[in-house]
Structure 1
Amino acid sequence: MQLVHNRYFFILLVCAFFSPALYAQMSITGRVVDPTNAQPIFGASLLISGTNRGTTANEKGQFELSVAEGDQLQVSAVGYQTQTIRIKASTQTLTVELESSNTALNEVIVSGYATPQTIQRTAGSVGLVTSRDIQRTNGIHLQNFVNLIPGVRVEMRTVAAGNRIVIRGYGNQTNFNGVGYKAYLNDIPLTDGDGTTFLDDVDYTTLSRVEVLKGPASSSYGNALGGVVNLYTERAPGGKTSISQQVMVGSYGLFRTNTSIKTGSDNTSLNINYGHQKYDGFRIHGGSKKDFLTITSDTYLSRKRSMSVFVGYTNSYDLLSGQVDSVNLRVHPDTAEVAYLLNNASIKTESARIGLCHNYQFTDRFSNKTTLFVGGQVIDQPFAAGVNKTNKFKFGGRTVFSYTDEYSRLRPTLSIGAEFLKNFNFAKGYGLANGILGALRSDLEIQAMQYNIFAQAGIQVAPKLTLLAGAGLNYVEYGITDMRASSTTPAYVNASGYNRFKPVLTPRGALSYQLTNAISFYASVSEGYSAPATNQVVIAQTGVVNYNLRPELGVSYEIGSKGRLLNQALTYEIAYFTMAVTDKLIPQNFPASGNQPAYTLTTNAGKVQHNGIEVALQYAYRPTTGALALVRSFVSYTYSDFYYKDYKSDNNGDARTINFTGKKESGIAPNLLNAGFDLEVRPGFYLNATMMYVDKMPITLANDHYADAYTLLNGKVGYRSALGNHVNLDLYVGSDNMLSSTYSSLIFLNLPNPANNRPLFFNPAPKITVYSGAALKYTF
């Protein structure tokens, strides 16, 4: 009997000892989502550290789990970075945002088609850059990480400004900014109502992801001929508050700092970042100074509602050195044009934008996403022969209603939406010579507007075969008021007027075949368009408005395959496309004559043919034990057979008209090859290296001038580790253009030949540069 009593007493002691843990157990619910598009991550794994207890998120990303205060919850999914969250006593519902990794990219969810879908199941070619890819570089220069995507090229006029993106041959039709594609930042349109994309007010160091939809494949964005670029900024991780400071120094006076505060609760996050950047530049009169303020906030109001806010402010001042000829590109790349020096040529920009994005899940199948934004820019740009002063005010929004039924046999998807963009541009142009302000040349008030309605749908016509179709109806309008007094110049003709381009209907159809869970094939046909931009409609140097232009039109055919092999360690993507473009806009350059400055007149006079092959391979090995944490190699290749099918210097048809039919399209390298290697060691050391090869390419319509081929080799080594429970440190040193290759970061295309037959095409990029930096983060 005494033994029985002792046994009961022992059991009571055990129960009393463990009772606090038992009482602390609580049930929480939540969801796992992709922060860039708020889409659920199906199959995400949730595991309590040090135990075998966990669960898996369902098709809606939702989960329920029994936890205790202080538990460390590890959340992971294929294609995403693992996140650890500490459970608090107040935790009842939890929203976990997983950032995409740079391995198993085919499993990352992207936007842009009928409904958000993984890259592998998307019937189109999508390029993706993740935060880990951006960290492979110094983060300042967009081209160092975006140019690794096959079919995509980023070019820069200066060391820190003048970015233009070329996607499958589109984006370099003008020598300033970008046209032919559309760009968005956190779903806020960056592209103006006139189709021009200005990127100098974006802080690339705050980006966490870049998605590129190549070709006119997405009706929901207006079927731009080049495609769509979606930029997304960093989010604050849930359940943590941190303060971080980054400092970077480098060649030619590079100095960059980032100061950020991130705080995240169970269902909200806030990220505030201030960035300061100074660059002397390697060319005479090539300095740059920039200040950025970026604020992002995400709030998950309930299971049905979420809202994100973006606030951005930029103040930048970039000096311009002008262009050099082929001789000085090799011999004196650091020189500047005299006229640029005398006029203190530069781009001074002050920019602000605010955007609000709201997601609402009406039912399990029906949802809406609406974005509204407002912004403004003040641009002061003296150049070699004048000065342009522009004030922009822009606003707009987009809304998309989506329906998805994953439980139906046909698995139908449907999205219907609209987008609206409008600009009020107040643009003045003056003569400028030797720094002395001249006469007023133009004084225009421009109202540019784009709007489109669209619909996309998909059904699973067979167990592995999905049919998709969509269409967009696109409108472009210009209203121009000429404020220049006609009496000032007797021969002057007032340029006021209004033009509404004929609406463009852009249909799309596609088939997707899922051979296995890891391999898919697709085929698509789509029509796209590219409207003339303001700088093509308005000739600021002469004050003339060109009302006779028409949008470019093109039909693209594409086939491709994506997949994961060798136990998901090897991923691949291959695509072939062919696109014929009509009404191609041709810039005609006219040299200065008398009191008339140099100017460019654009006309519809061409047809071009684009044929291309894009291939991307990646192998990632992640050992579970040992010193090595990651060994990753990748390669991408682009072949471009682009030529003028029916292309003339103008549409006059007289003796002065030059026929360029059969010539290779200028500004397009026939071969691009990129490769890279990443190595991570568990103590925290890492090594990143990339190689980019750009083939020789024609840079004039007549193919009588070429840019030489070049190879860029970039590398970075560092140490990244946690110092205790609260401090994280990252130390690194890197180098760009380690081979000291001679090349131009942006080329002015199709310039007329001067008397010495040495046009000023080239904007030289620096030889080998080095940089080093440190990032220190304290987590509360």
Structure 2
Amino acid sequence: MKSISVRFIRLLLFFAFLSSSLYAQVAVTGRIVDPTNSQPIVGATVLVSGTSRGTTANDKGQFDLSVSEGDKLQISAIGYQTQTVPIKASTRTLTVELEPSNTDLNEVIVAGYASPQTIQRTAGAVGLVTSRDIQRTSGIHLQSFVNLIPGVKVEMRTVAAGNRIVIRGYGNQTNFNGVGYKAYLNDIPLTDGDGTTFLDDVDFTTLSRVEVLKGPGSSAYGNALGGVVNFYTERAPIGKTSISQQVLAGSYGLFRTNTSIKTGTDNTSLNINYGHQKYEGFRLHGSSKKDFLSITSDTYLSQTRSMSVFVGYTNSYDLLSGQVDSLNLIVHPDTAEVAYLRNNANIKTESARVGVSHSYQFTDHFSNKTTLFVGGQIIDQPFAAGVNKTNKFKFGGRTVFTYANDASALRPALSVGAEFLKNFNYAKGYGLTNGILGALRSDLEIQAMQYNIFAQAALQLAPRLTLSAGAGINYVEYGITDMRASTTTPVYVNASGYERFKPIVTPRGALSYQVADNVSLYASVSEGYSAPATNQVVIAQTGVVNYNLRPELGTSYEIGSKGSLLTKALTYEIAYFTMAVTNKLIPQNFPATATQPAYTLTANAGKVQHNGLELAVQYAYRPVAGAISLIRPFVSYTYSDFYYKDYRSDNNSDAKTITYTGKKESGIAPNLLNAGLDVEVRPGFYLNATMMYVDKMPITLANDHYAKAYTLVNSKLGYRSALGSHFNLDVYVGSDNMLSSTYSSLVFLNLPNPANNRPLFFNPAPKITFYSGAMLKYTF
């Protein structure tokens, strides 16, 4: 009996030893960062799930904690989504990336001025869209979620192409692509060397975050009078591997799939996504087909080094329906222009880009981030009166050195950097009538290059007062060669082959006062510029270089306040700005003659005044008990008083010159109002609803034609939940334009009036539409 007891005790001791070996305590060193800028999230909370054990991240975002294999760490921070990370036997170091939430946005870190700061402490207006905001919609259309930012309006020419972003009234100067702002995808410039931005090759469904720096950004980004838009793609959660399939179908033949593989180790993440999209569209000759492939990778090589890689490929084909007049906008919005049908007008694009970013923390206070990229596009575009074929190759880089010392009484912060961007564009244009190819109209080889050097600094002059100042020197150069040889057109339109604009210095200064821990006031003054695009510098149809053009210049004055009240449940942002823009570029259209085709000549002949007010308020109510887990109402409002201060049809000052001084600026609605409501229920149901009101706006220089006001109501109802320990399911139904409002998704501005006084301004958008979808994810 005694020997049996001894054996039993030995067996218990063996299992106890085995258990202690399997679940021995290990010391884990971790770091918590914002994935878009690798900045530490100070004060993040780290808890072992199911226990009260935990710690808090220090001022470098670092933490140390003793854990056991099999434990799960629950990591949270104000303004960010909570993430759960499993601990493996091999885990010793850990880097956790937290995605921002759409509540208490003022606590999210942004990098755009002297040094990374939370939005609330940034002395400038910043609009932020998070992954939860994108999930409020189908995710396909950029305008569905970015338009909720006050002062920003996205317009779209077709059902899935031709996005034009207007920031504080700037960016609607062209009816094609975007101008006046800079755009980046994972720090890779999307904007070409001539300042135009083409977004048809960006997969908006893979975005996790959009940041908009409103107002002149030329002191750090160069050619950016309107502002800067930063797009960021989804990252894979650290410590998890998953595969997911998303399918969405809707009205007018909409069909979208996303197949995604995400894997994350303790210090690496990899996200591979393939997307396929088809859309018949509600207009005749308005279908779209797109295929996207994107690869995003983050590697944290050590506590001081990290590297990010992005690879993207797009193949898209979008048919063009043309425009309709004000009558057909109401009576026959689904029709297409005959000339577009006869020429099978479309935009066919094949695009690829690769970018690599490297961040290095030299010391606790000194760091660098450098991004290098290369990309190319092939664009084939038949339109109503011809066909353009363009091959683009571009490359460049951006580097920023940052010094910040929060331990010092003055809390100095300094950033010094440079950016370089160059394009090689080979563009040919042909006549096209009834689908029959005509004569060569243009054959241009264009080298567009812009580069800038900038420095920004900030000092805390008093415990709550911070002064920041900076400036950039910006260069734009164009090399333009006309390859047509004829008796009327020389082989080289410019003997030197180059047009170089005078370097422009753009300063910025700002004061920020911290009224309380969660409330700040700021005032800023900044200058910016927007250089003429190559299609304005060179007149392709006539082979003439327009040497007299100068960049548009603007000086903006802004005051504002940001804050969080009621224990950070209520968040607000308000800003007032006034900006005068000089040297406005005015297009002058000349009809065809017996000796030359129709062409457009651009001149600096205008001054405009922009005065605006922006307001955003949201309240996040999170009951601690009961079925409701979140009720979040929000509202944003934009008031725009934009008018022509000194504006003429040309700078000839003769009998044909028309003066538009005192008229309202075309394409700008005086009032924009957005409101919405998010409701989440603990079993997993959710409801998202938004409303956008757009005031009527003039669409001609003379203010003799207007686009009518309209209201859009969108909603989405869904259910998301875990199915066991490995599967996650999200199913939903949604509807856009629930009031069946009549409106144009993009209005062509300042077109000449025909004999019937009904010019083709409008690109009609569909009435009420529906969609439904599901996403199933398996986590290993």
Distance 1:143 1:403 in 2: 37
Matched, 1:188 2:215: no
Aligned to 1:3: none
- Shift in Å at residue 538 of structure 1? 2.9
SS for the counterpart of 1:179 is coil
Residue aligned with 2:438, SS: strand
The residue that corresponds to 1:571 in the other structure is 571
1:662 corresponds to which residue?
A: 662
- Aligned mates of 2:413, 2:247 — CA distance in 1: 47
TM-score, normalisation: structure 2: 0.97
Q: Does the C-alpha gap of structure 1 residues 444 and 22 become closer, same or farther in structure 2, counting only changes over 3 Å?
A: closer
1:84-103 correspondence to structure 2 within 5 Å? 84-103=84-103
Match of 2:719 in 1: 719
Query: CA offsets, 1:331-384, max 9 Å, x none?
Result: 000000000001111000000000000000000000000000000000000111
In the aligned structure 2, how far is the partner of 1:718 from the partner of 1:344? Answer: 39
Give the structure 2 partner of residue 380 of structure 1: 380
TM superposition shift of 1:505: 0.2
Q: Tell me the CA shift for residue 485 of structure 1.
A: 1.1
Task: Check conservation: 1:385, 1:597, Cα contact below 8 A.
Answer: no
Amino acid paired to 2:330: R
Using the TM superposition, give the Cα deviation of residue 592 of structure 1 relative to its aligned residue in structure 2, in angstroms: 4.5
Helix, strand or coil at the partner of 1:177 = coil
For 2:194, the aligned partner's letter is: D
2:696 matches 1:699: no
- The alpha-carbon deviation at position 390 of structure 1 amounts to 0.3
1:478 aligns with 478
By how many angstroms is 1:17 displaced? 7.4
Letter in 2 for 1:103: T
Structure 1 counterpart SS, 2:220: helix
Aligned AA (1:559):
I
Distance 1:279 1:217 in 2: 36
Residue 269 of structure 1 aligns with which residue? Answer: 269
1:331 paired with 2:328, answer: no
Q: Does 1:38 align with 2:35?
A: no
- Deviation of 1:685 after TM superposition, in Å, equals 0.4
Alignment match, 1:443:
443
Q: 2:493 aligns with which of 462, 476, 495?
A: 495
Residue number in structure 2 paired with 1:731: 731
Question: Corresponding residue for 1:606?
Answer: 606
Conserved in 2, the CA contact under 8 Å of 1:162 and 1:200? yes
Q: 1:546 Cα shift?
A: 2.0
Structure 2: distance between partners of 1:716 and 1:599: 46
Contact 2:180 2:223 in 1 (8 A): no
Please report how far the alpha carbon of residue 601 of structure 1 lies from its aligned counterpart in structure 2 after TM superposition. 2.0
1:570-594 Cα shifts (integer Å, max 9, x gaps):
0000000000111011122334455
Q: 1:179: how far off? A: 0.4
CA contact (8 A) 1:216 1:223 kept: no
Distance in 1, matches of 2:23 and 2:193, equals 60
* AA matched with 1:75: I
Check the 8 A contact 1:443/1:482 in 2, yes or no: yes
Q: How many angstroms does 1:699 deviate by?
A: 0.4
Q: Find the aligned partners of 2:32 and 2:543 in 1 and give their Cα distance.
A: 55
Deviation at 1:615, TM superposition (A): 0.1
Q: Distance in 1 between matches of 2:267 and 2:312?
A: 23
* Equivalent runs, 1:345-424 vs 2, <5 Å: 345-424=345-424
SS of the residue corresponding to residue 516 of structure 2 reads coil
Aligned letter for 1:374? V
Q: Distance in 2 between matches of 1:599 and 1:637?
A: 40
Matches within 5 A, 1:3-402: 16=16, 20=20, 24-217=24-217, 219-222=219-222, 224-402=224-402
Distance 2:547 2:110 in 1: 38
Distance 1:335 1:141 in 2: 22
**Residues 55-80 of structure 1, C-alpha deviations (whole Å, 9 max, x = no match):** 00001000000000000100000000
Distance, in Å, in 2 between the alignment partners of 1:778 and 1:549 is 57
The Cα shift of 1:597 comes to 4.5
Q: For 1:419-470, what per-residue CA distance to the aligned partner results, in whole angstroms no more than 9, with x for missing partners?
A: 0000000000111111111111110100000000000000000000000000
Cα displacement (A) at 1:540 = 3.4
**Match for residue 452 of structure 1?**
452
Distance (whole Å) between structure 1 residues aligned to residue 225 and residue 554 of structure 2: 7
Note closer, same or farther for the CA distance 1:543–1:766 as it changes in structure 2 (3 Å cut).
Answer: farther
In the TM superposition, residue 494 of structure 1 has moved relative to its aligned partner by 4.9
For residue 757 of structure 2, give the secondary structure of its aligned residue in structure 1.
coil
Report the equivalent of 1:747.
747
In structure 2, how many angstroms separate the alpha carbons of the residues matched to 1:30 and 1:374?
Answer: 34
Counterpart CA distance in 2 for 1:556 and 1:427 is: 36
Quick check: 2:484–2:491 contact (8 Å CA) kept in 1? no
Distance 2:452 2:54 in 1: 46
2:3 paired residue number: none
Q: Where do residues 667-682 of structure 1 align in structure 2 (5 Å cutoff)?
A: 667-682=667-682
Q: Which amino acid aligns with 1:377?
A: Q
CA positional deviation for 1:618: 0.3
- Cα distance in structure 1, aligned partners of 2:670 and 2:243: 46
**Paired amino acid for 2:498:** Y
Unmatched 5+ stretches in structure 1: 1-5
RMSD, matched Cα: 1.7
Say if 1:28 and 1:64, in contact at 8 Å, map to a contact too: yes
- Over 3 Å counting, the alpha-carbon distance change for 1:536 and 1:186 in structure 2 is same
Cα deviation, residue 172, structure 1: 0.9
Give the fraction of aligned pairs with identical amino acids, expressed as a percent.
84
Spell out, residue by residue over 1:302-340, the C-alpha distance to the aligned partner (whole angstroms, 9 max, x if none): 001000000000000000000010000010000000000
C-alpha contact (below 8 Å) 2:712/2:739 kept by paired residues: yes
SS at match of 1:351: strand
- Native 8 Å contact 2:195 2:223 kept in 1: no
Distance 1:292 1:736 in 2: 24
Letter in 1 for 2:649: S
Partner deviation per Cα, 1:155-181 (whole Å, 9 max, x = no partner):
000000000100001111111000000
Q: Distance in 2 between matches of 1:22 and 1:312?
A: 43
Tell me the distance in 2 between the aligned counterparts of 1:199 and 1:19. Answer: 57
Equivalent residue, structure 1, for 2:708: 708
Q: Offset of 1:768 from its aligned partner? A: 0.6
The CA deviation at 1:769 is 0.6
CA deviation profile, 1:497-532 (whole Å, cap 9, x unmatched): 311000000001000001111100000000000001
Shift of 1:616: 0.2
Conservation of the 8 A alpha-carbon contact between 1:696 and 1:707? yes
Q: Secondary structure at the match of 1:515?
A: strand
Figure out how many residues of one structure are paired with residues of the other and give that number: 771
Cα contact 1:113–1:219 (8 A) shared by 2: no
Q: Deviations over 1:259-313 (max 9, x none)?
A: 0100000000000000000001110000000000000000000001000000000
In structure 2, the CA distance between the partners of 1:672 and 1:594, relative to structure 1 (3 Å rule), is farther
Name the amino acid aligned to 1:612.
G
> Which amino acid in structure 1 is aligned with residue 45 of structure 2?
S
SS state at 1:635 partner: strand
Cα shift readout 1:599-634 (whole Å, capped 9, x = no counterpart): 332110000000000000000011122111111010
Within the alignment, does 1:637 sit opposite 2:637 as a pair?
Answer: yes
What is the DSSP-based 3-state SS (H/G/I as helix, E as strand, rest coil) of the residue aligned with 1:42?
A: coil
TM-score for both structures, normalised by structure 1: 0.97
Instruction: Give the Cα separation in 1 of the matches to 2:254 and 2:598.
Output: 34
Cα drift, residue 548 of structure 1:
1.7
Paired residues of 1:112 and 1:221 also in contact (CA < 8 A): no
Q: 1:214 to 1:592 in 2, by over 3 A?
A: same
**Cα distance in 1, alignment partners of residues 634 and 543 from structure 2:** 50
Unaligned runs of 5+ in 2: 1-5
Instruction: Determine if contact 2:162/2:199 at 8 Å carries over to the other structure.
Output: yes
C-alpha distance in structure 2 between counterparts of 1:535 and 1:630, whole Å: 50
